[in-house]
Structure 1
Amino acid sequence: MSRPAPLLRLLALTALAGSAVTSACAAAPVKYEQPKLVVVMVVDGLPNEQVMRYRDQFGQGGFRRLMEQGAWFTNAFQAHGVTVTAVGHTAVSTGAYPYRHGIINNYWYDANGKKVYCTEDGRYHYLGDGEQTQEHDGTSPANLRVDTIGDQLRYATGNQSKVVTVSGKDRGAILLAGKTGTAYMYMEKTGSFATSTFYMNAYPAWAEHFRAAHPQDRYYGQSWTKLLPDAAYAGDAPYVELANGKQSRFPFVFKSDSGKPDAKYYESLKGSPAVDELTLEFARAAIEGENLGRNPAGVPDLLGVSLSAHDIINHSFGPESAMSHDHLQRLDRMLANFFGYLDKRIGLSNVLVVLTADHGFTNSPAFSQARHIDALRIDPDKLVSGLDKTLADAYHVNKLVKSSMLPEIWLDDGLVEKNGLSRADVEARAARYLLAQPGIAQVYTRTQFENGGVGPTRLGLLMQRAWNRQLSGDLMVVPQPYSLFTKSLTNASHGAPYNYDANVPLLIMGSRWIKPGTYAGYTEVVDIAPTLAHLLRVRPPAAAEGRVLEQVLR
């Protein structure tokens, strides 16, 4: 019997193989598994430097778990020029910069010179007895001009996906929740977590149960002491003696003059590990009450958790302090417990976790000066009043400076026009004065921003991204590195475009979707939303300019 010719035999085998592959593909199509729950965590005021510096003291289940089981981006940045809470949280949820999303600061002034808070909306009020709503309290996302990753998830699933956020600060919750999610925030006067009438007219049963239990009262009479042995804090800066009468040394005792839980006591919890513990406890209640991660429609849910205490502690004592150090270690253990809970409740293999920060932190000027750095405290009132006098002397017109919220300064358009002045000339003269003042590094003007005259520098790019044509001021003032705009004689702060305020941790964990490892390439926080959109198979938010972090995807 003759053997088939080699070419005919090869063709026959190829045809058989192709048929087999086609049949296999038809019989077993590959199904993409979305995360059942996406958890977006923002640690308010956590510089990446602190994570790097204290990482050897972390336990096994918190930050270390994220570092070892997830993708750890060590060179990630809030890449805009005004590094504050509202702007940073908005970058996480929208993937956009302030010139697009409209949240230019925590506060700003409108065209009429009226002060505006980033999440205020007088049409709504806090829900519940005792939740008094003040003029500039955060109650809705009305000032947010674009949508978020949560909004896109809700849209893609016909509103079947649930988006719930919780934070110690109203802006932390509201700006993560977007237009269609539900935000809950800590109330300083009552210690409870509340929402506003923008979201609902009555609490769900699970939230009512949590509020009625008053877990915030359990800390009364307890103390915040060091978690680790004293030797672990040997490299931290000496205690800062606060001038405002607040206690400034361990142990910090939670109490009040009335001898019982009251507004003063509840406010003190906000600047301690207690508020983060309560926030995570409320997050667990929301997971169970809303059945997050077990959506009966088979679609993903999103939980946003903003942990606020680190920012407040850093403001009071500086990121170089033992208090900041200890809080980060306590937060690490809280995260370990929370991740353990997620594993038992949903299974971490079904959960995608993102952790980042809204901004970093500047060292306190006293600490920087001890290291021979020219760090100044620049009094904003004196700086602006000096500018106003200089302009009045030059143009014989009083009050050309309409309002200011540094780094922004607004000129009075009406006075400029009424007196026949050249806006560009007034701006330029103002910039020259400001640049001659101690501690000022750079000044950008509206004319420069509008006409593309900012220049090709990195600093110029960051400030251009931070400037919104309709909302921002006529002058943007940048301090010298390590200098602060503040009237306080003791506190630390943030808000500058420099690396200490902009370089933040970014960790993403999800075993089915993310390749573990340490990634040193340049990354921005605005990359989070497009990456989540890709993994959730939804449209990116409309104004997102970040990229998909494809190098970590399985």
Structure 2
Amino acid sequence: MIRRTLLAAALALSAPSIAQNAPRPAPKLVVMIAADQFSTDLFEQYRPYYRAGLKRLSQGAVYPNGYQSHAATETCPGHATLMTGDRPARTGIIANNWVSFKGPRPGEIYCAEDEARGTFKDYVPSDVHLRVPTLGERLKMRDPNTRTVAIAGKDRAAIMMGGHRMDAIWFWRDGKGFVSTQKAAAPAAVVAANEAARAAITAPGAARPLPDFCAPISRPVKVGETSMGDGRFERPADKEALWKASPDFDTAVADLAVRMIADLKLGRGRGTDVLTVGLSATDYIGHRFGTEGSEMCIQVAALDAAVGTLLDALDATGVDYVVAFSSDHGGNDLPERERERGVPAAARVDPELAPEALGKRIAGELGWTGGQLLYGSLNGDVWLSPDLTGEWRTRVRDAAMAAWRAAPQVAAVLTAEEVRALPSPGGTPDTWTLADRQRAAYDAERSGDLFVFLKPAITPTQGGATHGSPWDYDRRVPILFWRKDLTRFEQPLPVETVDIMPSFAALVGLPLKPGEVDGRCLDIDGGAEDTCAPR
């Protein structure tokens, strides 16, 4: 009797420990929020001032040194990494645009179009160029009850995170509002969101309040004939482009996502649902105003609020959900302001270094009388004309490489042969060479013949600010996970955005074979539970 009593007491004492270490059931809803051009630099700069969504996410599993590890730090390839677990070399999404001299429409190709339909400027949004499945697709193949929904400010964000088999996809199209690649009529949620957005666009935009923490950086800087850096998003009526380059754009996207969560009862079906949300305003604001003025400061506060709105709507469902937050790439500030703040090397690129301009110069020097010699852009892929064959091809390539390598603003020029010969990079992404970074974005069918990279702080545009470089201000992005009752922690060592998808997959019990994706599972609970353990 005494032995039985002691045994029962021992089992009672051990039961909480056993239960504590047992894996939690799979979440009913997986949510990926991507804030376009939200770098680790921005995340850390404003971290003390978060009051809403970003504050809560900062109390989960925090990886401040996430990397879009590839060289092509653009919107399309970056979003494609988040829910596929693959780098551009596998997804096939090597850039926002690339040049093809074959196919139904030779010339420039947009990453999220079907070039067999429409033109480059009047394109038909499509998923045909994405070569790998997303998490939502993989879950639907396992369980048809899974529903996948993508909402975004940009078509390429919605398509690249949602994939090929979505139940609903809605993104903003200029002059049309939220539209879909699917032919179904707009549901009530979309109609209401479009009405609200149209009312905001057609009305003048009042100046936004300046948060106290924004005041120290609210100073004008002259860029050409334009002054910026102390703006507050005042705008006249009927200026859609200015509306998109304001916090109001994220408000509209978050509003639609909240409506869809409620109307579709996401997370309350028989399967695990997937929702992806692409918030694009930070990118439009960063391009127009740079990353270090009052405009971006106001935007980060508004982004915090928009993410908070999303999380509050998810909480209201009572559903067990897990959310990740990250970005497709970072961004760099206006060179004019950087020079004022102690970066003397900051400058805009010499326009004569652009591929088309350099090609014209080389044509004159070599006596070429045919068409355009070089296609593409700086900080990325450059294609030689298909008209160049034999000795002409070698002469033009060598002349272009020599000119770029002699230019003080150019850091490196690589050939496709050099990059193709490399193995897929390993180790932590902060240690990768430029060639490694380009190898992670190399596709034999789509990539260029040469890869030209400008030095840090050299902006490849003649106005505004941008991204797309292989440098860490464009590669480093925060990765944040949150789930109710998750034991919080912070991991400062480098991880990759391709690690997000396999981390989600482990939580929902979706097995991945070794090497099936580029990413690896991150154990996102700082407590006893191993969220990467098989379920």
What is the TM-score with the length of structure 1 in the denominator? 0.83
> How far did residue 143 of structure 1 move?
0.9
Q: Aligned residue for 2:330?
A: 360
Kindly provide the amino acid, as one letter, of the partner of residue 287 in structure 2: H
Q: Aligned residue for 1:318?
A: 290
- Asked if 1:441 is matched to 2:431, the reply is no
Kindly provide the amino acid, as one letter, of the partner of residue 57 in structure 1: Y
Render the CA deviation track for 1:425-475: whole Å, top value 9, x for unaligned: 754443222111131000110121233499995222101112211101111
Does the CA contact (< 8 Å) of 1:206 and 1:286 recur in 2?
no
Q: Aligned residue for 2:83?
A: 93
Does the residue aligned with 1:65 lie in a helix, a strand or coil?
Answer: helix
Render the CA deviation track for 1:227-247: whole Å, top value 9, x for unaligned: 444x42243263244558798
Q: Aligned residue for 2:438?
A: 463
Does the residue aligned with 2:465 lie in a helix, a strand or coil?
Answer: coil
Does the CA contact (< 8 Å) of 2:229 and 2:294 recur in 1?
no
Change (3 A) 1:56 1:30: closer
Does the residue aligned with 1:283 lie in a helix, a strand or coil?
Answer: helix
Kindly provide the amino acid, as one letter, of the partner of residue 205 in structure 1: P
> How far did residue 420 of structure 1 move?
6.8
Q: Aligned residue for 2:203?
A: 221
Q: Aligned residue for 1:154?
A: 140
- Asked if 1:117 is matched to 2:102, the reply is no
* Structure 1 unaligned residues grouped into runs of 5+: 1-9, 22-28, 126-132
Q: Aligned residue for 1:376?
A: 347
Q: Aligned residue for 2:428?
A: none
What does residue range 205-354 of structure 1 map to in structure 2 within 5 Å?
Answer: 205-207=187-189, 209-210=191-192, 213-218=195-200, 220-229=202-211, 231-236=212-217, 238-241=219-222, 250-256=231-237, 261=238, 265-295=239-269, 297=270, 299-347=271-319, 350-354=320-324
CA distance in structure 2 between the partners assigned to 1:436 and 1:268 by the alignment: 40
Q: How many aligned residue pairs are there?
A: 508
Q: Aligned residue for 1:108?
A: 98
CA distance in structure 1 between the partners assigned to 2:373 and 2:264 by the alignment: 50
Match of 1:39 among 31, 46, 49: 31
What does residue range 145-224 of structure 1 map to in structure 2 within 5 Å?
Answer: 145-158=131-144, 160-181=145-166, 182-190=168-176, 192-196=177-181, 199=182, 201-203=183-185, 205-207=187-189, 209-210=191-192, 213-218=195-200, 220-224=202-206
CA distance in structure 2 between the partners assigned to 1:41 and 1:341 by the alignment: 14
Identity of paired residues, percent?
26
Does the CA contact (< 8 Å) of 1:240 and 1:317 recur in 2?
no
Change (3 A) 1:533 1:386: same
Does the CA contact (< 8 Å) of 1:74 and 1:520 recur in 2?
yes
> How far did residue 395 of structure 1 move?
7.8
> How far did residue 87 of structure 1 move?
1.0
Does the CA contact (< 8 Å) of 1:354 and 1:506 recur in 2?
yes
Q: Aligned residue for 1:450?
A: 420
CA distance in structure 2 between the partners assigned to 1:183 and 1:466 by the alignment: 27
CA distance in structure 1 between the partners assigned to 2:11 and 2:285 by the alignment: 66
CA distance in structure 2 between the partners assigned to 1:306 and 1:232 by the alignment: 26
Kindly provide the amino acid, as one letter, of the partner of residue 117 in structure 1: Y
Does the CA contact (< 8 Å) of 1:189 and 1:267 recur in 2?
no
Change (3 A) 1:219 1:383: closer
Change (3 A) 1:123 1:207: farther
- Asked if 1:52 is matched to 2:37, the reply is no
Match of 1:522 among 494, 498, 502: 494
Tell me how large the CA RMSD over aligned residues is.
Answer: 3.4
Render the CA deviation track for 1:352-377: whole Å, top value 9, x for unaligned: 01000111111211122221431221
> How far did residue 386 of structure 1 move?
2.4
Render the CA deviation track for 1:248-301: whole Å, top value 9, x for unaligned: 753433433xxxx5xxx3332111111111101100111122221111x2x111
> How far did residue 332 of structure 1 move?
0.8
* Structure 2 unaligned residues grouped into runs of 5+: 14-20, 426-430, 530-535
Change (3 A) 1:460 1:122: closer
What is the TM-score with the length of structure 2 in the denominator? 0.86
Is 208-217 or 277-286 further displaced after alignment? 208-217
CA distance in structure 1 between the partners assigned to 2:382 and 2:304 by the alignment: 40
CA distance in structure 1 between the partners assigned to 2:318 and 2:9 by the alignment: 41
Render the CA deviation track for 1:395-439: whole Å, top value 9, x for unaligned: 85755724223321111244223x575x4x754443222111131
Is 364-373 or 273-282 further displaced after alignment? 364-373
Q: Aligned residue for 1:142?
A: 128
CA distance in structure 2 between the partners assigned to 1:137 and 1:247 by the alignment: 33
CA distance in structure 1 between the partners assigned to 2:131 and 2:199 by the alignment: 38
Does the CA contact (< 8 Å) of 2:223 and 2:336 recur in 1?
no
